[in-house]
Structure 1
Amino acid sequence: GLRKRQAISEEQYLADQIAAELAAVEVEQASERRVLSQARLDEAEAKLRAKQITSPHAGVVTEVLKHPGESVSVGSPVFRVDNPEWLHVTGKLDVGDCWRVRVGATVRVHVELDGVDLPIEHQRFAGKITFMDSKIDHETQMCTVIASVENRDSLPIAGLEAAMIITASPVDRSEESLHARTSK
C-alpha cells in the first residue's frame, strides 16, 4: 500500500489505524447504548400500558364505575362500553326448544310495545345466537339464550321488550322457527 511506497509515514499509518480502531469501538458502544435505550423504552412503554385501561371491544363508554383515586383490582370493571351498532338480546327458551337451538343459529328480533304503535315495532333486527346456557331453570323449565343483533341505525331500543324468532338448528332438518320471550 501507500506505506510500502512511503507515501505516508509509519507514524501517520499507526495514527490512522488507532483512529479506525477507536471509531470501531465507538460504533460498538453506540450500538450497545442503542440496545440499552431500546430496553429502557420498552420498559417505559410497558409501565405506561399497565396503567392504561383498554376496552376489549369497540364502542362508547356508557357508564363510569370507578373514578380517579378509587382502588381498582385486576379484572374488576372500571367502565362500561357498549357498541350501539350491536345489541345483546337475552331470551328464555322452553326446555323443549332448548335441544333444537345451537350457538350460531340465526335470529330475527322485533320490538313489542304495549299501548303504543311506533315505527320501531315494524323493524326487524337480524343476528345470531352467541350464548346458550346449559342450565335449565328448575322452576320455569327454561334456559337462557343471548343473541347479538345488528342495530343498523343505532336506535335507542336497549331495555325494551322484544320478540326473538330463532331459526331451528339444521341438525333437526326442520324449517320451523322458535319464539323466545326476550328483553334487550
Structure 2
Amino acid sequence: MKYRYPLLLVTSIFLYACSAPENDGWQGYIEGDSIFVAAPVEGRLESISVQEGDQVDAASSLFVLDEEPQRAILHKAMAQLESAKAELADLEKGKRPQEIEVIEAQYEQAKAAAALSAKQLKRARELYANNLTSRSTLDEAQTTDESNRQRVQEIAAQLETAKLAARPDQLEAAKARVGAAQAELNQATWQMSEKQQTAPSSGLVQQVLYRPGEFVAAGQPVVALLPPSRIKIRFYVPETALTNIRAGSQVKIQCDNCDEPFIATVRYISPTAEYTPPFIYSRENRDKFVYLVEAWPTVETAAKLHPGQPVDVFGSNTLAEQISENGEQ
C-alpha cells in the first residue's frame, strides 16, 4: 500500500509528458520566401519606383535601366533586316528593267547582223556557182553568217537569264540572312523590353538593393519582393506527434500581435530528423527526434504576418477540442 501513491504519481507524469507536446503546442516562426526581381540585361539604373515597405500590385513598375545603349542596338538590327530583305527581293526579281532593255537592244542588233550575213552568203554562193568569185570569198561569207547566228543564240540566252531570278542556292542564302537579321531584331526588341521591370505579383517591398545611377549587372537583383502567398509557418515537432500531423491537415496558430488565432494548412513535413543530439536508438529516446513542418495560412491572413515573428502551433486534436468547446458555449 505504501507504493500506491508514488506509482500513481509516476504514471501521471508519464501520461502528461506523452500528451504535453500536442496540448502545449510547438514553438515556431513566420518565414517568407522573397522574390528577387532582376533584369536579364545589364545597364545603369535610371529610376526606381518603389521604396522599402511599400505594398505593390502585380504588374506595377519597379525600376528602369538606361535604354539609350540598347536603343542604338535596336536601330542597327532594324537597318540590317531591311537591307537583307532588299537584297532578297532584288535576287527574286532578276536584273533591273534598264539592264534588260540593253540586252534586248543587243539582241535586235545581232538578229539584223545575222539576216544581213545570210543574204551575203546566198549571193556569194550564186557568184561562186557562176565562177564570178573566189572560193575564199565564199568561205568568208559562210564564217560570218555562222558567227552572227551563234551571236543571236548567245544574246537570246542572256536575255532569258536576265529575266530569271537568282540561282536557288543564292536565294536560300539570302533568305537565311533575312532570318538571321529577324532573329537579331527580335533579340534586341526583347532586351529593350527587359530594361523595364514590373512586379510579378502583389506583395511587400522588402529591400531595394540599388540606387539610381549605379550600374546593375545582368541578372543582379534590384528589388526583393515578398508576396503573401509565399509566407509560411515553420515549426518542429517530435517523432511521436507525426501520427497526428500529415500533409493537408490543419493546425492552429497563435501569436502575440495576432487579433485572434488562425488556421494554417500543412504542406510539407521533413522526411528526416533535424537538430537532434547523438543518442542510442531506443523506445525511450524517440521523443528526441524533431521534424521540420511547414504550414501555409490563407493569403488574407498572411498579409498581416511578419517574417521572423514567433508563433505557437497547436495540432489538429487541440484544434478539434477548441472547436468543440466553442460549440458547447
- Quick check: 1:107–1:164 contact (8 Å CA) kept in 2? no
Distance, in Å, in 1 between the alignment partners of 2:182 and 2:291 is: 54
Question: How far 1:146 sits from its partner (Å)?
Answer: 1.6
Residues of 1 paired with 2:190 and 2:232: CA distance? 34
Of residues 121, 141, 144, the one that matches 2:260 is 121
How far the C-alpha of 1:18 sits from its partner, in A, is: 2.4
User: Which residue does 1:21 correspond to in 2?
Assistant: 165
Matches within 5 A, 1:102-117: 102=246, 104-113=247-256
What is the CA-CA distance between 1:70 and the residue it aligns to? 7.7
| Structure 1 residue 162 corresponds to structure 2 residue 311 | yes
- Higher percent of residues as strand: 1
> Are residues 24 and 143 of structure 1, via their aligned partners in 2, closer, same or farther at CA, if it must alter by over 3 Å?
closer
Aligned Cα RMSD in Å? 4.7
What's the CA shift string for 1:7-64, capped at 9, x where partnerless? xx98788635423323977754541222221443466578789999999x74535323
Unmatched 5+ stretches in structure 2: 1-107, 109-152, 278-286, 320-329
What does residue 209 of structure 2 align with?
A: 66
> Structure 1 residues 110, 23: CA separation in 2 closer, same or farther (over 3 Å shift)?
same
Shift, 1:93, TM fit:
0.8
In 2, distance between residues paired with 1:131 and 1:54? 34
Residue 80 in structure 1 maps to residue 224 in structure 2: yes
Inter-partner Cα distance in structure 2 for 1:145 and 1:43: 44
Aligned counterpart, 2:241: 97
Q: Deviations over 1:152-175 (max 9, x none)?
A: 2654222444343445xxxxxxxx
Q: TM-score, normalization: structure 2?
A: 0.34
Residues 155 and 50 of structure 1, relative CA distance in 2, 3 Å threshold: closer
User: What letter corresponds to residue 294 of structure 2 in structure 1?
Assistant: I
Count of residues paired in the alignment:
154
Greater helix share, structure number: 2
Aligned twin of 1:4 = none
Residues in 1 aligned to 2:196 and 2:228: alpha-carbon distance in whole angstroms: 23
The reply to whether residue 152 of structure 1 matches residue 296 of structure 2 is no
Over 3 Å counting, the alpha-carbon distance change for 1:108 and 1:48 in structure 2 is farther
Q: Identify the residue that residue 138 of structure 1 maps to in structure 2.
A: 276
Q: Which has the higher contact order (CA 8 A, sep 6+)?
A: 2
- CA positional deviation for 1:145: 1.6
In 1, the alpha carbon distance for the partners of 2:243 and 2:222 equals: 37
1:89, CA displacement in angstroms? 0.4
Q: TM-score, normalised by structure 1?
A: 0.53
Partner Cα distance (2:306, 2:264) in 1:
15
| Distance in structure 1 (CA, Å) of the matches to 2:232 and 2:302 | 13
> CA contact under 8 A between 1:87 and 1:150: conserved in structure 2?
no
The change in CA–CA distance for 1:48 and 1:28 in structure 2 (over 3 A counts) is same
CA distance in 2, matches of 1:133, 1:79: 34
Q: Is the 8 A contact 2:269 2:291 kept in 1?
A: no
- Unmatched segments (≥5 aa) in structure 1: 1-8, 168-175, 179-184
Structure 1 residues 153 and 88: alpha-carbon distance in aligned structure 2, compared to 1, 3 A threshold: closer
Which of the residues 174, 177, 180 maps onto 1:36? 180
